[in-house]
């Protein structure tokens, strides 16, 4: 597609349920990033993928959060046993190969707004 | 300590005026990049402009320019001739080369409202 696509755009769930958020990056972009944005805040980096490898998972808020990526395409962010504090907008971004250096522009999707009741 | 500080939570500006959005940063890495993004009410983050730590000249992209003062560790965004469509949240972000391939570190943003 032309841009980064995220689904669903909105998700309402009950506390304790599992949710899966999906990100479809720009075609040809090998790097993929997940961020969380709480209400009125800046973006908080969660995890990135180079290809289907995630070298550093330390940004994930807790062990209830996991992410995977199939090849160099779709990624899913899974939150198990959701809590109310997980309510936020989850944004995905993609960029060309990291070999391009520090100026790798990240292009963002519109995000998934997660509400945990 | 915050790595990116945006001291203006909100700003009101008259249409057609120039506006400066402040951003200061903190890093000991000599190689880094600074980014500005715009987030309209639709939620999508739109890339505006980039400045590298070794760039000799201030970056410009159309009506956007970056006032980069390395010694002061500031990277203010200047929007010339503001338009109603410029109303949005604006975020300053940084990537440090020493951080490898980690993501961007964002400030808390400035909510800009352009008034007719």
Categorize the per-residue pLDDT at A12 as very low, low, confident or very high, splitting at 50, 70 and 90: very high
Give yes or no for A60 touching B (CB within 8 A).
Answer: no
Q: Are B105 and A48 inside 8 Å of each other by CB?
A: no
d(CA A30, CA A97): 5
| CB within 8 Å: B103 and A48 | yes
Residue of A nearest to B101 (CA): A98
Confidence of residue B96 (pLDDT cuts 50, 70, 90): confident
What is residue B72's predicted lDDT score, i.e. its pLDDT? 96
Average of per-residue pLDDT values in chain A? 90
Query: CB neighbours (10 Å) of residue B42?
Result: 9
- A45–B109: do the CB atoms touch at under 8 Å? no
Per-residue pLDDT at A103 exceeds 80: no
Q: Count of CB contacts below 8 A, A vs B?
A: 68
User: Residue A24: which pLDDT band, with cuts at 50, 70 and 90?
Assistant: very high
Q: Among B73, B8, B102, which residue's Cα sits nearest to residue A44?
A: B102
- Whether A46 and B103 lie within 8 Å, measured CB to CB: yes
Nearest to B47 among A50, A105, A109 (CB): A105
Nearest CA among B90, B31, B41, B103 for reference residue B64: B90
B42-87 pLDDT, tens digit per residue, is 888 999 999 999 998 999 999 999 999 999 999 999 999 999 999 9
Pull the structure tokens for residue B8: 């203006």
Cα A111 to chain center, whole Å? 8
| Whole-angstrom distance, CA of residue A5 vs CA of residue A10 | 13
């Amino acid at each position: 597609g032309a841009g980064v696509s995220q689904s669903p755009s909105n998700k309402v769930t009950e506390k304790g349920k599992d949710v899966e958020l999906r990100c479809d990056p720009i075609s040809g972009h090998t790097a993929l990033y997940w961020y969380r944005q709480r209400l009125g805040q800046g973006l908080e980096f969660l995890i990135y993928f180079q290809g289907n490898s995630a070298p550093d998972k330390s940004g994930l808020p807790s062990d209830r959060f996991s992410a995977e990526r199939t090849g160099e395409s779709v990624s899913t962010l899974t939150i198990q046993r959701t809590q109310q504090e997980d309510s936020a907008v989850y944004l995905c971004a993609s960029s060309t190969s990291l070999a391009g250096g520090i100026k790798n522009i990240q292009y963002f999707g519109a995000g998934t707004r997660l509400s945990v009741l | 300590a915050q790595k990116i500080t945006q001291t203006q939570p909100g700003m009101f500006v008259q249409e057609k005026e120039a506006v400066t959005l402040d951003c200061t940063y903190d890093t000991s890495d000599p190689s880094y990049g600074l980014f500005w993004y715009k987030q309209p009410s639709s939620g999508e983050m739109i890339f505006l402009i980039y400045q590298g730590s070794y760039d000799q000249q201030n970056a410009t992209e159309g009506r956007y320019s970056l006032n980069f003062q390395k010694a002061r560790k500031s990277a203010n965004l200047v929007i010339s001739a503001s338009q109603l469509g410029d109303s949005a949240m604006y975020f300053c972000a940084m990537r440090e080369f020493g951080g490898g391939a980690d993501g961007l570190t964002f400030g808390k943003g400035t909510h800009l409202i352009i008034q007719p």
